[in-house]
Amino acid sequence: MPEQRGPNFVCIGAQKAGTTWLYKNLESNHDVWLTPVKELHYFDRVRANEALLGEWGMPHPEGVYNRYIKDQFPPSLKNMRWLRRYYRYGLDKQWYLGLFEEQFTGGQTCGDITPAYSTLDDSGVRYAQKVLGQDTAIIFIIRNPVERSWSAAKMMFRDQDKSYERDNYAEITALLKKPLTVLRSDYANIIRRWQDHFQHVHVMTYDALCESPDGFLGDISRHLKIRNQWDRETINKRVWSDEKSSPVPDGIASLLRAQYQEQTEELYSLTGLPEVKQWLSDMSADQTT
Protein backbone atom coordinates (compact mmCIF):
# COMPACT_ATOMS: atom_id res chain seq x y z
CA MET A 1 0.00 0.00 0.00
CA PRO A 2 1.45 3.43 -0.92
CA GLU A 3 2.31 5.76 1.94
CA GLN A 4 -0.47 8.24 2.74
CA ARG A 5 0.86 11.74 2.22
CA GLY A 6 -1.65 13.87 4.14
CA PRO A 7 -2.21 17.58 3.51
CA ASN A 8 0.31 19.84 1.80
CA PHE A 9 -0.58 22.71 4.10
CA VAL A 10 -2.33 23.37 7.39
CA CYS A 11 -3.90 26.69 8.39
CA ILE A 12 -3.82 26.94 12.18
CA GLY A 13 -5.92 30.09 12.53
CA ALA A 14 -6.26 32.46 14.09
CA GLN A 15 -9.93 32.12 14.90
CA LYS A 16 -11.93 35.13 13.62
CA ALA A 17 -9.11 36.14 11.28
CA GLY A 18 -10.52 35.32 7.85
CA THR A 19 -10.00 31.56 7.71
CA THR A 20 -13.50 30.87 6.35
CA TRP A 21 -12.96 33.44 3.60
CA LEU A 22 -9.62 31.78 2.82
CA TYR A 23 -11.29 28.35 2.72
CA LYS A 24 -13.87 29.58 0.21
CA ASN A 25 -11.24 31.17 -2.00
CA LEU A 26 -8.96 28.15 -1.93
CA GLU A 27 -11.97 26.05 -2.92
CA SER A 28 -12.29 28.24 -6.01
CA ASN A 29 -8.66 27.69 -7.09
CA HIS A 30 -8.38 24.86 -9.62
CA ASP A 31 -5.00 23.80 -8.22
CA VAL A 32 -6.45 23.08 -4.77
CA TRP A 33 -8.65 20.41 -3.22
CA LEU A 34 -10.11 21.04 0.23
CA THR A 35 -12.02 18.70 2.50
CA PRO A 36 -15.81 19.27 2.30
CA VAL A 37 -15.70 19.97 6.05
CA LYS A 38 -13.49 22.96 6.80
CA GLU A 39 -12.40 22.26 10.38
CA LEU A 40 -11.29 18.68 10.95
CA HIS A 41 -10.28 19.14 14.61
CA TYR A 42 -7.91 16.19 14.58
CA PHE A 43 -4.78 17.36 16.39
CA ASP A 44 -6.63 19.39 19.02
CA ARG A 45 -8.58 16.21 19.89
CA VAL A 46 -5.76 13.69 20.10
CA ARG A 47 -3.30 16.12 21.74
CA ALA A 48 -5.52 18.69 23.46
CA ASN A 49 -3.76 21.39 25.44
CA GLU A 50 -4.00 20.42 29.11
CA ALA A 51 -5.27 23.91 29.95
CA LEU A 52 -8.34 23.21 27.79
CA LEU A 53 -9.31 19.82 29.15
CA GLY A 54 -13.02 19.92 29.94
CA GLU A 55 -13.58 23.00 27.78
CA TRP A 56 -14.43 21.26 24.51
CA GLY A 57 -17.78 20.21 23.13
CA MET A 58 -18.23 18.21 19.96
CA PRO A 59 -16.95 19.77 16.74
CA HIS A 60 -19.61 21.49 14.64
CA PRO A 61 -22.42 21.48 17.23
CA GLU A 62 -24.80 22.92 14.63
CA GLY A 63 -24.14 19.86 12.49
CA VAL A 64 -21.85 19.33 9.52
CA TYR A 65 -24.83 19.37 7.15
CA ASN A 66 -26.06 22.78 8.30
CA ARG A 67 -22.61 24.32 8.25
CA TYR A 68 -21.02 22.83 5.15
CA ILE A 69 -23.06 20.38 3.14
CA LYS A 70 -26.42 22.06 2.50
CA ASP A 71 -24.83 24.58 0.13
CA GLN A 72 -23.36 21.71 -1.91
CA PHE A 73 -26.56 19.68 -2.13
CA PRO A 74 -26.70 17.33 -3.84
CA PRO A 75 -23.04 16.62 -3.06
CA SER A 76 -20.80 14.97 -5.62
CA LEU A 77 -20.17 11.24 -5.48
CA LYS A 78 -16.57 11.95 -4.45
CA ASN A 79 -17.76 14.15 -1.58
CA MET A 80 -20.22 11.45 -0.51
CA ARG A 81 -17.37 8.96 -0.35
CA TRP A 82 -15.26 11.42 1.60
CA LEU A 83 -18.10 12.07 4.07
CA ARG A 84 -18.51 8.36 4.59
CA ARG A 85 -14.82 8.19 5.52
CA TYR A 86 -15.13 11.28 7.72
CA TYR A 87 -18.08 9.91 9.68
CA ARG A 88 -16.01 6.93 10.71
CA TYR A 89 -14.53 9.48 13.09
CA GLY A 90 -11.32 8.22 14.62
CA LEU A 91 -8.38 9.32 16.66
CA ASP A 92 -5.69 7.42 14.80
CA LYS A 93 -3.18 8.70 12.28
CA GLN A 94 -4.51 6.47 9.51
CA TRP A 95 -8.02 7.94 9.79
CA TYR A 96 -6.69 11.48 9.45
CA LEU A 97 -4.32 10.77 6.57
CA GLY A 98 -7.06 8.80 4.83
CA LEU A 99 -9.04 12.01 4.46
CA PHE A 100 -6.38 13.18 1.99
CA GLU A 101 -6.04 10.07 -0.16
CA GLU A 102 -5.53 10.64 -3.87
CA GLN A 103 -8.98 9.22 -4.64
CA PHE A 104 -10.29 12.44 -3.04
CA THR A 105 -7.58 14.98 -3.87
CA GLY A 106 -6.87 13.89 -7.43
CA GLY A 107 -3.23 14.74 -6.71
CA GLN A 108 -4.02 18.43 -6.19
CA THR A 109 -2.59 20.60 -3.45
CA CYS A 110 -4.71 19.93 -0.37
CA GLY A 111 -4.97 21.31 3.13
CA ASP A 112 -6.56 21.29 6.56
CA ILE A 113 -7.93 24.60 7.91
CA THR A 114 -8.60 24.28 11.64
CA PRO A 115 -8.02 27.42 13.76
CA ALA A 116 -8.13 25.39 16.99
CA TYR A 117 -4.70 24.00 16.13
CA SER A 118 -3.25 27.31 17.34
CA THR A 119 -4.05 26.17 20.90
CA LEU A 120 -1.77 23.12 20.74
CA ASP A 121 1.05 22.98 23.26
CA ASP A 122 4.53 21.73 22.37
CA SER A 123 3.49 18.09 22.70
CA GLY A 124 0.61 18.63 20.30
CA VAL A 125 2.72 20.44 17.71
CA ARG A 126 5.40 17.77 17.97
CA TYR A 127 2.79 15.11 17.28
CA ALA A 128 1.48 17.13 14.32
CA GLN A 129 5.01 17.23 12.90
CA LYS A 130 5.29 13.44 13.19
CA VAL A 131 2.03 12.98 11.30
CA LEU A 132 2.46 15.75 8.72
CA GLY A 133 6.20 15.94 8.22
CA GLN A 134 8.27 19.05 8.87
CA ASP A 135 8.01 20.29 5.27
CA THR A 136 4.22 20.79 5.41
CA ALA A 137 3.44 24.48 4.95
CA ILE A 138 1.85 26.14 7.99
CA ILE A 139 -0.33 29.23 7.49
CA PHE A 140 -1.07 31.44 10.48
CA ILE A 141 -3.19 34.59 10.07
CA ILE A 142 -2.95 36.94 13.03
CA ARG A 143 -5.36 39.71 13.96
CA ASN A 144 -5.23 42.52 16.52
CA PRO A 145 -5.82 40.50 19.72
CA VAL A 146 -8.25 43.05 21.15
CA GLU A 147 -10.47 42.83 18.08
CA ARG A 148 -10.01 39.09 17.69
CA SER A 149 -10.94 38.31 21.29
CA TRP A 150 -14.02 40.54 21.18
CA SER A 151 -15.14 38.97 17.90
CA ALA A 152 -14.65 35.49 19.34
CA ALA A 153 -16.57 36.40 22.49
CA LYS A 154 -19.52 37.68 20.46
CA MET A 155 -19.52 34.48 18.41
CA MET A 156 -19.51 32.29 21.53
CA PHE A 157 -22.33 34.29 23.09
CA ARG A 158 -24.37 34.05 19.88
CA ASP A 159 -23.79 30.29 19.76
CA GLN A 160 -25.19 30.06 23.29
CA ASP A 161 -28.13 32.37 22.48
CA LYS A 162 -26.87 34.86 25.03
CA SER A 163 -26.71 38.65 24.88
CA TYR A 164 -23.33 40.38 24.86
CA GLU A 165 -24.66 43.77 25.91
CA ARG A 166 -23.07 45.93 28.59
CA ASP A 167 -25.17 44.45 31.40
CA ASN A 168 -23.34 41.16 30.85
CA TYR A 169 -19.97 42.74 31.63
CA ALA A 170 -19.01 40.25 34.36
CA GLU A 171 -19.86 37.25 32.20
CA ILE A 172 -18.07 38.69 29.17
CA THR A 173 -14.99 39.46 31.28
CA ALA A 174 -14.89 35.89 32.60
CA LEU A 175 -15.11 34.51 29.07
CA LEU A 176 -12.31 36.75 27.79
CA LYS A 177 -10.02 35.52 30.57
CA LYS A 178 -10.65 31.84 29.86
CA PRO A 179 -7.73 29.81 28.45
CA LEU A 180 -9.86 29.00 25.39
CA THR A 181 -9.82 32.70 24.48
CA VAL A 182 -6.38 33.70 25.74
CA LEU A 183 -4.41 30.86 24.13
CA ARG A 184 -5.67 31.77 20.65
CA SER A 185 -4.14 35.26 20.91
CA ASP A 186 -0.77 34.21 22.34
CA TYR A 187 0.72 34.73 18.89
CA ALA A 188 4.43 34.92 19.72
CA ASN A 189 4.44 31.60 21.55
CA ILE A 190 2.26 29.99 18.88
CA ILE A 191 4.70 31.06 16.16
CA ARG A 192 7.77 29.89 18.10
CA ARG A 193 6.16 26.55 18.86
CA TRP A 194 5.36 25.79 15.23
CA GLN A 195 8.68 27.13 13.98
CA ASP A 196 10.44 24.72 16.34
CA HIS A 197 8.89 21.78 14.49
CA PHE A 198 8.12 22.96 10.93
CA GLN A 199 10.36 24.43 8.25
CA HIS A 200 7.77 26.62 6.54
CA VAL A 201 5.65 28.72 8.91
CA HIS A 202 4.04 31.64 7.08
CA VAL A 203 2.70 34.42 9.34
CA MET A 204 0.15 36.65 7.63
CA THR A 205 -2.15 39.36 8.93
CA TYR A 206 -5.87 39.98 8.84
CA ASP A 207 -5.03 43.62 8.23
CA ALA A 208 -3.33 42.71 4.93
CA LEU A 209 -6.31 40.56 3.95
CA CYS A 210 -8.72 43.44 4.53
CA GLU A 211 -6.45 46.00 2.85
CA SER A 212 -5.77 43.99 -0.30
CA PRO A 213 -7.50 40.61 -0.72
CA ASP A 214 -5.79 40.18 -4.09
CA GLY A 215 -2.37 40.81 -2.60
CA PHE A 216 -3.12 38.45 0.27
CA LEU A 217 -4.11 35.67 -2.12
CA GLY A 218 -1.03 36.36 -4.19
CA ASP A 219 1.06 35.66 -1.10
CA ILE A 220 -0.96 32.49 -0.45
CA SER A 221 -0.29 31.30 -4.00
CA ARG A 222 3.45 31.77 -3.50
CA HIS A 223 3.48 30.01 -0.14
CA LEU A 224 1.52 27.02 -1.48
CA LYS A 225 3.12 27.00 -4.95
CA ILE A 226 -0.20 27.21 -6.76
CA ARG A 227 -1.35 29.44 -9.60
CA ASN A 228 -2.45 32.92 -8.63
CA GLN A 229 -5.87 32.44 -10.22
CA TRP A 230 -8.95 33.13 -8.15
CA ASP A 231 -12.66 33.64 -8.58
CA ARG A 232 -13.52 37.34 -8.43
CA GLU A 233 -17.03 36.75 -7.08
CA THR A 234 -15.66 34.63 -4.22
CA ILE A 235 -13.01 37.23 -3.38
CA ASN A 236 -15.69 39.89 -3.11
CA LYS A 237 -17.87 37.83 -0.77
CA ARG A 238 -16.21 39.32 2.27
CA VAL A 239 -18.38 39.57 5.34
CA TRP A 240 -16.67 41.75 7.92
CA SER A 241 -19.57 41.52 10.38
CA ASP A 242 -17.53 43.10 13.20
CA GLU A 243 -17.26 46.32 11.22
CA LYS A 244 -21.03 46.55 10.95
CA SER A 245 -22.03 46.14 14.57
CA SER A 246 -21.03 46.10 18.23
CA PRO A 247 -17.64 47.78 18.61
CA VAL A 248 -15.60 46.78 21.64
CA PRO A 249 -17.10 48.48 24.71
CA ASP A 250 -14.65 50.84 26.46
CA GLY A 251 -14.37 48.75 29.62
CA ILE A 252 -13.79 45.53 27.67
CA ALA A 253 -11.26 47.26 25.41
CA SER A 254 -9.27 48.46 28.43
CA LEU A 255 -9.25 44.96 29.89
CA LEU A 256 -8.08 43.43 26.60
CA ARG A 257 -5.37 46.03 26.03
CA ALA A 258 -3.94 45.31 29.47
CA GLN A 259 -4.26 41.58 28.83
CA TYR A 260 -2.40 41.61 25.50
CA GLN A 261 -0.03 44.62 25.62
CA GLU A 262 3.02 42.65 26.75
CA GLN A 263 2.31 39.75 24.40
CA THR A 264 1.93 42.14 21.48
CA GLU A 265 5.26 43.81 22.29
CA GLU A 266 6.85 40.36 22.29
CA LEU A 267 5.18 39.58 18.97
CA TYR A 268 6.58 42.73 17.41
CA SER A 269 10.08 41.87 18.63
CA LEU A 270 9.70 38.45 17.04
CA THR A 271 8.16 39.43 13.70
CA GLY A 272 8.83 43.12 13.12
CA LEU A 273 5.54 43.28 11.23
CA PRO A 274 4.33 46.86 10.61
CA GLU A 275 0.75 45.79 11.32
CA VAL A 276 1.77 44.65 14.80
CA LYS A 277 3.55 47.97 15.37
CA GLN A 278 0.28 49.69 14.49
CA TRP A 279 -1.59 47.52 17.00
CA LEU A 280 0.83 48.67 19.70
CA SER A 281 0.43 52.28 18.62
CA ASP A 282 -3.36 51.95 18.80
CA MET A 283 -3.13 50.37 22.25
CA SER A 284 -0.94 53.20 23.53
CA ALA A 285 -3.13 55.89 21.95
CA ASP A 286 -6.25 54.38 23.47
CA GLN A 287 -4.65 54.34 26.91
CA THR A 288 -3.78 58.04 26.77
CA THR A 289 -7.18 59.27 25.59
The better pLDDT of the pair 163, 246 is held by 246
| Domain assignments of the chain as residue spans, ordered by start | 9-288
Average pLDDT score, the chain? 88
Task: Look at 70-74, 232-236, 263-267 and tell me which has the smallest mean pLDDT.
Answer: 70-74
- Domain 9-288, classified CATH 3.40.50.300, yes or no: yes
Residue 286 has pLDDT above 90, yes or no: no
pLDDT of residue 88: 81
pLDDT of residue 124: 97
Following DSSP, what letter does each residue of 26-92 receive, concatenated? HHH-TTEEE-SSS----HHHHT--GGGTTT---S-TT-HIIIIIGGGPSPPHHHHHHHHHHTS--SS
pTM: predicted TM-score of the whole model, two decimal places: 0.90
pLDDT band at residue 60 using 50, 70 and 90 as cut-offs: low
The arithmetic mean of pLDDT across residues 259-288, rounded, is: 91
CA atoms within 13 A on the CB side of 156: 20
Residue 24 has pLDDT above 80, yes or no: yes
pLDDT of residue 1: 40
If we measure between CA atoms, which residue out of 119, 99, 105 comes closest to residue 43? 119
Residue-wise pLDDT for 124-157, tens only, equals 999 999 999 999 999 999 999 999 999 888 887 7
The arithmetic mean of pLDDT across residues 199-227, rounded, is: 97
The arithmetic mean of pLDDT across residues 85-92, rounded, is: 83
Using a CB cutoff of 8 Å and minimum separation of 24, what contacts does 217-221 make?
A: 217/25, 220/22, 220/26, 220/139, 221/29
For CA atoms 127, 128, 134, 138, the dihedral sign is: negative
The arithmetic mean of pLDDT across residues 105-110, rounded, is: 96
pLDDT of residue 157: 73
Residue 57 has pLDDT above 70, yes or no: no
Label residue 35 left, alpha or beta by phi (over 0 means left) and psi (-120 to 50 means alpha): beta
pLDDT of residue 3: 55
Residue 247 has pLDDT above 70, yes or no: yes
**From CA 127, how far away is CA 252, in angstroms rounded?**
36
The better pLDDT of the pair 196, 77 is held by 196
Query: Are the beta carbons of 164 and 93 closer than 8 angstroms?
Result: no
Strand partners, 32: 109
pLDDT band at residue 265 using 50, 70 and 90 as cut-offs: very high
